[in-house]
Amino acid sequence: MAGMGEQGARMTARSRPKFPLQLDRLSGRAAVSAKTVLRPQRDLAAAHADAGRRSAPAGLGLDSADVRRRMSERLRDGGISQPLVLEAFANVPRHLFVDPALATQAYEDTSLPIGHEQTISKPSVVARMLEMLFDGANARQKGNLGTVLEIGTGCGYQAALLSELAVSVISMERLKPLHDKARSLLAPMRSNRLRLVHGDGMIGHAPGAPYDSVIAAASSDSMPQAWLEQLAVGGRLVAPVEQGDRGQALVVVDRREDGYARHVYESVRFVPLKSGLAG
Ligand code: SAH
C-alpha cells in the first residue's frame, strides 16, 4: 500500500537506440512495428559493469553478452518463442543478482538461494511465465506487458526483465532486507518504469491498478482476491497455486468483460506466499 515504506526507484532514463536493433538480430525479422515499441532503457550490462567488476569473480567472462545470449538461445531451444522475452534474457545480467560465490552458476537453468530462505527462480520457468503473460489480450494488443504488478521482488532479477517488457512495473516484496537488496541491485538500471514497494503482495497494490499483467513468484494455497480485483479487463495473471495432492501448478487467469477464465498448466515449485510484512 502507499505509505508502507514505499520506495521509489524512478530515475531518469538515459536511452540508447539499441533495443529494436537487437530484436532484429535475434528474431531475424522486423521489430514489432505495428505495436508499441517501448522506449529503450539504458544498456543494462553497461549500467551494471562497475558493480559487476566489484562483485563477480574476475576473469570468468560473466560480463560477456555472449554468455547471456547463449542462455537466451537455450531458452529458445527449450520452446520459448516470444522474441521480446528472449531479448530481455539476453540483456539482463543474472550473475549480478546472485551471491558472488554462486555467480558461476548464474547462467545455468537453476534456481539459486538469495538469502532469507528465498530463491531466484529458474530462468526457464520465469521465461515461460513471461511468455504466458504476452498471450494475454491486452499484451497481445499492445505488443508489451502494459502495466505490471509483480508479487515477490526477491533479488530483483525478474523485475529487471519485466521492466524491459512493460510500460510500468510495480514489484512488491514483504521482506525488507530483500526489498533493500533489490533496490540497490536495480539502481544502476535507472529504470523510470520500475517501482519497488515494501508491502504485502497478498493485498496487491490498489493505487497502481488496474494491471494488464500480474505475476507472482511465490505460491499461494488459493489465489488472493485482490489480484483478481486489480486485474484490468483484458489483463492476464500468472501465478503458482497449490493444487492439493498434485502440488503447485502454474495458473493463468484472464479477465474478460463477462468474468474470469482460469486455466491450470504444468507443475512447478516456488517458495510459499506469506502474509504480512517482515523486517
Ligand atoms: N522474482 C524473484 C524471486 C523471488 S522468490 C527474483 O527474481 O529473485 C519469491 C519472493 O516472494 C520472496 O522474496 C518472498 O519473500 C516474496 N514473498 C512471499 N510472500 C510475499 C507477499 N505476500 N508479498 C510480497 N512478497 C512476498
What DSSP assignment string belongs to 6-48?
A: -B---------TTHHHHHHHHHSS--STTSPPPPP---HHHHH
Cα of 88 vs centre of ligand 1, distance in Å, is 20
Contact 238, 260 (CB under 8 A): no
- CA distance linking residue 211 with residue 201, whole number of Å: 14
Contact 240, 268 (CB under 8 A): yes
Band of the pLDDT at 5, cuts 50, 70, 90? very low
Nearest CA to ligand 1 atom 18: 273
- CA distance linking residue 233 with residue 198, whole number of Å: 26
**Shortest-distance atom of ligand 1 to CA 278:** 15
- For residues 235-250, one letter each, b for 16 or more C-beta atoms within 10 angstroms of the residue's C-beta and e for the rest, the string is bbbbbbbbeeeeebbb
pLDDT-above-70 percentage for the chain? 79
Cα of 117 vs centre of ligand 1, distance in Å, is 10
Residue 19 pLDDT exceeds 60: no
Nearest CA to ligand 1 atom 11: 152
3 state DSSP class of 59: coil
Residues making up the chain, counted from first to last? 279
Is the backbone peptide bond immediately before 210 cis, with ω within 30 degrees of 0? Answer: yes
Nearest CA to ligand 1 atom 17: 152
Q: Which residues are catalytic?
A: 121
Residue entry with cell 560477456: 64
Q: Distance of alpha carbon 185 from its chain centroid, rounded?
A: 14
Nearest CA to ligand 1 atom 2: 154
Residue to mutate, 124, 151, 195, ligand 1, most ligand atoms under 8 Å from C-beta: 151
Measure Cα distances from 61 to 93, 97, 104 in Å.
Answer: 12, 16, 9
Cα of 28 vs centre of ligand 1, distance in Å, is 36
User: Each residue of 56-112: pLDDT tens digit?
Assistant: 555 567 778 999 999 999 999 999 999 999 999 999 999 999 999 999 999 999 999
What type of residue sits at position 202? M
Residue entry with cell 499483467: 213
User: Each residue of 148-199: pLDDT tens digit?
Assistant: 999 999 999 999 999 999 999 999 999 999 999 999 999 998 889 999 999 9
**Shortest-distance atom of ligand 1 to CA 175:** 15
pLDDT of residue 38: 75
In terms of Cα–Cα distance, which of 125, 128, 130, 172 is closest to 153? 172
User: Each residue of 237-251: pLDDT tens digit?
Assistant: 999 999 999 999 999
- CA distance linking residue 173 with residue 192, whole number of Å: 19
Pocket (CB within 6 angstroms of ligand 1)? 114, 118-121, 151-152, 154-155, 157-158, 172-175, 178, 200-202, 217-218, 271, 273-275
